[in-house]
Structure 1
């Protein structure tokens, strides 16, 4: 994997900001210079037009042949300013009109052809040129002068050079301080990385709070992660201890009965040892299966794996599998449900939830009793309930029974104390909540799994 440099990213960002500021200043300077140049040439052109108009007032009644040399000399006066610069003389066109008749026009200056019938005010003009038109109502004379705006491309080149030179000279002096500033700014982050790197794999203590406002959220997030990891490791450690303790009893029973099989001398003793051995193996097998189910229910899963499933069909399938265990004790299982009820569910975890709730209900109900499984659906929620006829659970203990390996005092039914813990985790994974309550119409426990819609 290619690692990007945050230092280089910040430095390039700094250089990019410098370049953008330079380009903005350059664009503003070119715009203002071009605008000012056009305005100045417009002002100079109008002054020349007014001078020609004043001269024409003294030549009232003269013929065009007499007027043209004078106007030509006035044009030369306008050119004199640019000739002093010595590098470029702009193209210029002068027109003198009297009573709508064109008396004088400069030689071709690269403009579109003049239309005498259009008059001085509607003559075509090329881009990059300016025009000035003035009239004298007393004499009927109109003077029109147009000239190209000189040096626009030279203005752009000079502006680039004007700004580029200081930018190029200042970059080294700007980047060097920026390099030190960015390195100094990232030093607290490197110190946090160093502190984490120096820790051992078992040190999950919190990092020291950062005095910097920008790093405080990062340190707080890392500390929260440390706390979650610490809690998970503690839970896993407790789980291992509890699992070892829970397996200790059935393994001891297996060992004792295995030794009894070796030492048994009578058929009765052999039968008793074999029965005890089978009981121990069955209990150990059940405990291992429950431990595996608990581990799977606690693993991280993607919520996107919840798919639309028919809860009624799923419950009916799981009840069919539990029917054999219920029939052995003469317990009737009744399903009360609508025809269909589709919810976003995870098939494996829901099967584990249903199996544990139904098997507990069958286990703790008296022989020839009844277990009722019902599904009630509304627009806001769906409630899955499992009701048995067992002894129920005291309200003070109804929260405790969800703890792993917890068994009610005086309980004589075999089990590992993991069923409700597995059911609670499976319900949470399917975005549901599980609730316990004793029946109000007689002995028994009512377990509800509530799914919220929307």
Structure 2
């Protein structure tokens, strides 16, 4: 069961307070009883000393004579006049073994045989605390005693008052804690109500006024989330509108060509119209596939450190796959690599990125042109570079080519829907990679992408990187070159 913060605070504080108060109460209880017993002992000693002084200076001769005559001159201490005044019984012995005076409840035998020492004794089934003191000549001995019943009665009375005070204080403290926790949690309740009562389309930031410092990081995180959601919803709205627009145009063209094919009786015109329908279907299919791919990229999330991909192997495979397109245009393709660098990345995404960049280079490079691909370590990173001899991209448009559905101003001859580089840009964001666009040495476009190298190197399973270190064409490039020379 998940307890609320309020209940956790109340339970924790009350439990700790109860434990602390209980420990303090037990300690104070025993300390109080000990101190009370010490006070009683001090009272016994003081009473004995007072009686000794009185007996030594004024009563010695009288007491000694009365004791020799065997007269009963026992005295009794007057009734107590204060509730904390304790009844003390005493004995006064003279000449060693003569009991001169004793209180009414004191026994006729000595309390104790040792002077100036507190001791516990039992007389008539009652426990006594006794003390004895003698004068310097040892002619008078005063012994005093007190029942433990009386001592315990006063100790228990004071201890009960102490326990009662704690018992009254504990509920009051609990009530104060309840009120304090409730007041402290009030801002959280207010924030909760504010979020709960929001409209579904309200992504405005939460106000930071009167927010406790402990809650500020959470509110900032929520506001950041709202900001990202707002941007994501705006992108989705724009993306949907652009996708609808991009799909509407080829569908309208296909409808027109289909109507021409239905109505015309000219076989040549019908075949041409049907070919245009096929071209339009292919373009719409490509658009839908790219839209689906892009939609799958957006929720992928952060890249994990243990995800490793062989960038050279991916590049080699995609280059071999795109060889037929290069062969059709007699384009010379080369792959320059040094080592077989591993990068921190998702292999499926990097495959999309590599294919899009190389495919764009082949598509926009004219016949008998050149495309050069490089994969190599560079300054602690891994470089993936593609250079072509195509028309390139004007400097003022290079920042816009990564927008969805953007197509260059002069791009009227090549097919496409403007999503390829948008997918590349999203993949770069996920991989925390950097891309730069520049003019290539061949007069076209140069695309340089820097990836983070893999921190975890997996155990090799076979010989996927079998090339020697250095510059050399891959099999696909060799096929393209040989095809070009043959065609020439």
The answer, yes or no, to whether TM exceeds 0.5 is: yes
| CA positional deviation for 1:181 | 2.9
Between structures 1 and 2, the one with greater helix share? 1
Q: Encode CA deviations 1:154-177: one digit per residue, 9 max, x unaligned.
A: xx9999967654332222222223
CA–CA separation in structure 1 for the residues paired with 2:321 and 2:344: 23
CA–CA separation in structure 1 for the residues paired with 2:390 and 2:439: 10
Give the corresponding residue for 2:415: 414
Matched residue of 2:415: which SS? Answer: coil
Larger displacement relative to structure 2 (302-311 or 395-404): 302-311
Larger displacement relative to structure 2 (332-341 or 263-272): 332-341
Give the corresponding residue for 1:352: 352
| CA positional deviation for 1:339 | 3.7
Query: How do 1:373-384 and structure 2 match up within 5 A?
Result: 373-378=373-378, 380-384=380-384
Larger displacement relative to structure 2 (251-260 or 212-221): 212-221
CA–CA separation in structure 1 for the residues paired with 2:305 and 2:348: 11
In the alignment, structure 1 segments of 5+ residues that lack a partner are 44-68, 92-149, 151-155
CA–CA separation in structure 2 for the residues paired with 1:427 and 1:207: 32
CA–CA separation in structure 2 for the residues paired with 1:383 and 1:27: 74
Give the corresponding residue for 1:370: 370
Q: Is the 8 Å Cα contact of residues 260 and 273 (structure 1) preserved in structure 2?
A: yes
CA–CA separation in structure 2 for the residues paired with 1:177 and 1:290: 63
| CA positional deviation for 1:244 | 0.7
Matched residue of 1:335: which SS? Answer: strand
CA–CA separation in structure 2 for the residues paired with 1:160 and 1:9: 33
Matched residue of 1:303: which SS? Answer: coil
CA–CA separation in structure 2 for the residues paired with 1:177 and 1:34: 31
Matched residue of 1:75: which SS? Answer: coil
Q: Encode CA deviations 1:410-450: one digit per residue, 9 max, x unaligned.
A: 212111111111111112222311111112x3411110110
Give the corresponding residue for 1:210: 209
Give the corresponding residue for 2:182: 183
CA–CA separation in structure 2 for the residues paired with 1:328 and 1:161: 105
| CA positional deviation for 1:347 | 1.2
Q: Encode CA deviations 1:65-89: one digit per residue, 9 max, x unaligned.
A: xxxx9xx9642763567779x9757
Larger Rg: 2
CA–CA separation in structure 2 for the residues paired with 1:251 and 1:431: 37
- Would you say 1:433 and 2:472 are equivalent positions? no
CA–CA separation in structure 2 for the residues paired with 1:449 and 1:160: 82
In the alignment, structure 2 segments of 5+ residues that lack a partner are 43-96, 98-110, 131-147, 149-154, 456-488
Query: How do 1:105-120 and structure 2 match up within 5 A?
Result: none
Give the corresponding residue for 2:338: 338
CA–CA separation in structure 2 for the residues paired with 1:434 and 1:325: 25
Q: Is the 8 Å Cα contact of residues 25 and 163 (structure 2) preserved in structure 1?
A: no
Give the corresponding residue for 1:97: none
Q: Encode CA deviations 1:122-152: one digit per residue, 9 max, x unaligned.
A: xxxxxxxxxxxxxxxxxxxxxxxxxxxx9xx
Matched residue of 2:114: which SS? Answer: helix
CA–CA separation in structure 2 for the residues paired with 1:366 and 1:216: 58
CA–CA separation in structure 2 for the residues paired with 1:160 and 1:311: 82
Which structure is higher in RCO with an 8 Å CA cutoff and minimum separation 6? 2
Q: CA RMSD in A?
A: 3.9
Cα pair distance change 1:393/1:160, threshold 3 Å: farther
Q: Is the 8 Å Cα contact of residues 433 and 449 (structure 1) preserved in structure 2?
A: yes
CA–CA separation in structure 2 for the residues paired with 1:36 and 1:334: 99
| CA positional deviation for 1:300 | 3.3
Matched residue of 1:200: which SS? Answer: coil
| CA positional deviation for 1:3 | 3.7
- Would you say 1:443 and 2:482 are equivalent positions? no
Cα pair distance change 1:212/1:430, threshold 3 Å: closer
Larger displacement relative to structure 2 (363-372 or 231-240): 363-372
CA–CA separation in structure 2 for the residues paired with 1:160 and 1:354: 85
Structure 1 runs (4+) greater than 6 angstroms displaced: 30-41, 81-84, 156-162
Matched residue of 2:14: which SS? Answer: helix
Q: Is the 8 Å Cα contact of residues 22 and 163 (structure 1) preserved in structure 2?
A: no
CA–CA separation in structure 2 for the residues paired with 1:419 and 1:227: 27
Cα pair distance change 1:312/1:273, threshold 3 Å: same
Q: Is the 8 Å Cα contact of residues 387 and 442 (structure 2) preserved in structure 1?
A: no
CA–CA separation in structure 1 for the residues paired with 2:340 and 2:398: 31
Cα pair distance change 1:80/1:353, threshold 3 Å: closer
CA–CA separation in structure 1 for the residues paired with 2:345 and 2:265: 56
Give the corresponding residue for 1:229: 229
Matched residue of 1:78: which SS? Answer: coil
Q: Is the 8 Å Cα contact of residues 310 and 340 (structure 2) preserved in structure 1?
A: yes
- Would you say 1:78 and 2:124 are equivalent positions? no
Give the corresponding residue for 2:192: 193
Cα pair distance change 1:279/1:311, threshold 3 Å: same
Q: Is the 8 Å Cα contact of residues 32 and 159 (structure 2) preserved in structure 1?
A: no
Give the corresponding residue for 1:166: 165
Cα pair distance change 1:389/1:245, threshold 3 Å: same
Give the corresponding residue for 2:18: 19
Q: Is the 8 Å Cα contact of residues 345 and 430 (structure 1) preserved in structure 2?
A: yes
CA–CA separation in structure 1 for the residues paired with 2:306 and 2:333: 28
Matched residue of 1:190: which SS? Answer: helix
Tell me the TM-score normalised to structure 1 length: 0.71
Give the corresponding residue for 2:297: 297
